[in-house]
Amino acid sequence: MKKVSIIGAGPAGIEAASVLAKHGISVMLFEKSSSPLNNIMDKAYLFPNFQSAMEIADDLSGRLLNDKITLVPDTEIVDVKWQGTDWKLFDAKGQTYVSDVVLIATGYQVFDAKRKEELGYGIYKGVITSLEMEKMIKYNQILNVSGDIPKRIAFLQCVGSRDEKSGNHYCSKVCCVTAVKQAIEIKKMIPTVDISIFYMDLRMWGQGFEEMYRKAQEEYGINFVRGRISEAAATFDSRVQLKSEDTLMGVPLKMTADLLVLMVGMEPSAGTRNIASRCEICGDYGFVKTISPHLYDSETGKPGLFAAGTCKRPNCIEDTVNDARSAAYAIMEYLNTL
């Protein structure tokens, strides 16, 4: 009986597990925290169709109800070793597991905004991250530091992405559209609020994204300012003063906002970094490297070691789920050759 181990019970891990289980393959699904789908639970609504994140999470969790899937929560896999014929997995408590195939689905974590100290995250209360804004939207509690309805909110794109100074040169792919989505949601809740989005360039790559962007400008009156925010400071009434430059107008710009939302990018999670370096499949920035992004994107080049989802690169949920499916089929093909 062939056994597959999947590290990480996020969208990728769960989707791959469910596809494999449907084909009669037993799967061990390891999750380091007590429940699956933690990153999705942080979100309120998902772009581009404003579907509730809870719905997606419920649907995905339902797929776990299969005899062939064993969810192993509170188990952090810290090392995996190839033993000639199978893989041995070591968890943080010292227990070991053996399986024929390992699928890495360890995912991402968001960039720690404190590392960009000039933006004042962790110093000024009015500076929050996109995750915190998502939570505010989720609980319908969009308030400034004094507890009032905010009059002006500024979004800053590319915090910890496309940024040489923080060491991440890559684009995190989902932040542009997320900011547009959040801005529209805020506007729907508080029509009086004035929203500005500071961007380098907006990458509306997906289906429906461009339409959202157009709607944001035409229907919701959201301002888009091309320019980076160089520094933030607190005002006496705990609002945030921003210094920037409008690079289309070519003028320096100062603005006082109730909230500054930092669109934090995606970085490989600690688990991704660890497993990638231990298996010697470490690519750029600590992401997992696959054989080729075109035709062999699930295979890592090691026998029986596969990768899916955001442990390879920043990605949105739909692509992550599709990627997990293709990984599951690649695994089945591999198992047939054994």
Partner 1 sequence: MKIQVIPYNIFVIPFLVGVALLLVICLYKYIRWIGKFNKQQRDTIKKNWFSWKIFSAVWEMFREGLLHVKIFKKNFLLGVMHQAYALGWFLLIVVGFAESTLTMKYLQQENSVERVYQLENQGDWYVKEKGEGVIDELTLGNEEVSKINYKRPFYVSIFYRYFVHDVPSSFRNAHLFSNVMDGLLLYVFLGLTMAIIKIMYSRILGMRRTTRHTIVDRFSKFALWSIFPLRLLAESVTACLYGNGGFFTQTIGNLFDPMIVRGMEHSLWMFYSVMLSVFFVTLPFTRYMHIFTELFLIYFRKIGVKESNEKSGYTMFELNACSRCGVCIQGCPLDKELGNHKVQSVYLVRSIRNQERPGKIKMIADDCLMCDRCSVDCPVGIDLNAIRRIVRNKGTLDTKGNYSYVHENKYSFNAIGRIAYFGGCMSHLTPGITESMEKIFEAAGQKYWYMDKQRSVCCGRPLQQQGFLNQAAELREKNSDMIEKSGAVMLVTSCPICYRSFKTEYNLSIPVLHHTEYIDMLLKQDKIKVRKDDKKVSYHDPCELGRGCGIYEEPRSVLKRVTNLQKTRYQKDKSVCCGFNLGNTVLTVEQQTKICNASLKNLTSKPVDTVVTACPMCKKAFIRATNEYPVRDIAEVVAENLIN
Please state the closest distance from residue 223 (CB atom) to partner 1, in A.
Answer: 24
Please state the closest distance from residue 163 (CB atom) to partner 1, in A.
Answer: 10
Asked whether the CA dihedral 27, 56, 269, 328 is positive or negative, the reply is positive
Task: Give the pairing of strands 223-226 and 194-199.
Answer: parallel
Of 233 and 335, which CB lies nearer to partner 1 in the complex structure?
Answer: 233
What is the residue whose two structure tokens read 């998502």?
134
| H helix or E strand, kind and range, residue 264 | strand 259-264
- 330 three-class SS: helix
Among 120, 150, 227, 265, binds partner 1 (CB under 8 A): 120
Stretch that binds partner 1, among 2-10, 113-121, 173-181, 183-191 (CB under 8 A): 113-121
Q: How far apart are CA 304 and CA 145, in angstroms?
A: 51
Of 22 and 169, which CB lies nearer to partner 1 in the complex structure?
Answer: 169
Of 118 and 201, which CB lies nearer to partner 1 in the complex structure?
Answer: 118
128 binds partner 1 (CB under 8 A): no
Buried b (16+ CB within 10 A) or exposed e, 244-262: bbeeeeeeebebebbbbbb
- 229 with 119: CB under 8 angstroms? yes
179 binds partner 1 (CB under 8 A): no
- 321 three-class SS: helix
What is the residue whose two structure tokens read 């507890």?
147
Q: Number of residues in contact with partner 1, rule: CB under 8 A?
A: 16
Please state the closest distance from residue 71 (CB atom) to partner 1, in A.
Answer: 28
Of 122 and 208, which CB lies nearer to partner 1 in the complex structure?
Answer: 122
151 binds partner 1 (CB under 8 A): no
Tokens of 141: 């509690």
Q: What region does 253 belong to: left with phi over 0, alpha with psi -120 to 50, or beta?
A: beta
Among 55, 58, 118, 211, binds partner 1 (CB under 8 A): 118
Of 81 and 114, which CB lies nearer to partner 1 in the complex structure?
Answer: 114
Among 115, 138, 203, 325, binds partner 1 (CB under 8 A): 115
58 binds partner 1 (CB under 8 A): no
- CA nearest neighbour of 300 among 267, 318, 275, 335: 275
Question: Which residues between 233 and 262 bind partner 1 (CB under 8 A)?
Answer: 233
Of 165 and 294, which CB lies nearer to partner 1 in the complex structure?
Answer: 165
